[in-house]
Amino acid sequence: GAVVSQHPSWVICKSGTSVKIECRSLDFQATTMFWYRQFPKQSLMLMATSNEGSKATYEQGVEKDKFLINHASLTLSTLTVTSAHPEDSSFYICSARDPSGGGYNEQFFGPGTRLTVL
Amino acid sequence: SQQGEEDPQALSIQEGENATMNCSYKTSINNLQWYRQNSGRGLVHLILIRSNEREKHSGRLRVTLDTSKKSSSLLITASRAADTASYFCATARDQGAQKLVFGQGTRLTINP
């Protein structure tokens, strides 16, 4: 099946710094990628939809200036958490939709990135 | 926003027993998908069932969908310790829909 990777798998940073997380589709081209946030023992909350070559679409309540998304190629989307604070500590997961999936929206998920802001 | 609700929130059974998890949703859908997540890891796609399907099988997994009740169930037969994980349902509102809306998940523990 399609493979999605994320880098880094975990990161610890100081409050006020910015952190970039990469999401790559390894064996298919993804025009659309998604970024989710997951708190411990909770479900995934969609943050934004990342479209290649255009601006991301953010979900209600997600600060676009705080979570910068760039989807510059068909295989790479990046999420930058700017001026991170302890409340931004979370598990960030990306997914990519395989357009060859017949339109039924099967998504392939990356392994996630654990962000801890001190 | 999360439209799916799953029950139970946590389920603990003995190895070899069957595990059943339920998912309810609120809006009309095109398809419903089940995912598994091992602790601290990404999600693995298990099975997709379309709105015009009522039941689907994949190995030890059996999924049912009742669109009149807006509910789905996931049955894992002959459970194994390796099935220990969290299971999430996710719905797509239409075929071209990009977004999936996830349920709250069921934490399944299989005791050896």
Query: pLDDT tens digits, residue range A18-62?
Result: 999 999 999 888 888 999 999 988 899 999 998 888 889 999 999
Nearest to residue B94, comparing CAs of B15, B27, B38, B36?
A: B27
Are B83 and B98 in contact by the 8 Å Cβ rule? The answer is no
**CA nearest to B46 within chain A:** A106
Q: Which residues in chain B touch residue A32, judged by CB atoms under 8 angstroms apart?
A: 98
B46 touches chain A (CB under 8 A): no
B49 touches chain A (CB under 8 A): no
pLDDT over 50 at B7, yes or no? yes
**CA nearest to B29 within chain A:** A104
pLDDT over 70 at A101, yes or no? no
- What average pLDDT does the segment A69-87 reach? 94
- Give A87's pLDDT tier (boundaries 50, 70, 90): very high
Distance in angstroms (rounded) separating the CA atoms of residues B94 and B112: 41
**CA nearest to A94 within chain B:** B42
Tell me how far apart the 2 most distant CA atoms of chain A are, in Å.
44
Q: Cβ neighbours of residue B36 under 8 Å, at least 6 residues apart?
A: B43, B44, B46, B85, B86, B87, B88
What pLDDT score does A15 carry? 97
Tokens (6 digits) for B50: 């379309």
What pLDDT score does B96 carry? 61
Are B73 and A7 in contact by the 8 Å Cβ rule? The answer is no
Distance in angstroms (rounded) separating the CA atoms of residues B81 and B108: 10
Give the CA angle between residues B35, A7, B3 to the nearest 5°. 30
* Pairs across A and B, CB distance < 8 A: 66
Q: What SS3 state is found at B27?
A: coil
Q: What percent of chain B has pLDDT over 70?
A: 92
B112 touches chain A (CB under 8 A): no
Mean pLDDT, chain B, as a whole number?
90
**Residue of B29, B31, B41, B46 to mutate for A, most A C-beta atoms under 10 A:** B41
Judged by CB atoms within 8 Å, which residues 57-96 of B form the interface with A?
88, 92, 95-96
CB atoms within 10 A of CB B38: 13
Tokens (6 digits) for B28: 């009309």
Are A29 and A85 in contact by the 8 Å Cβ rule? The answer is no
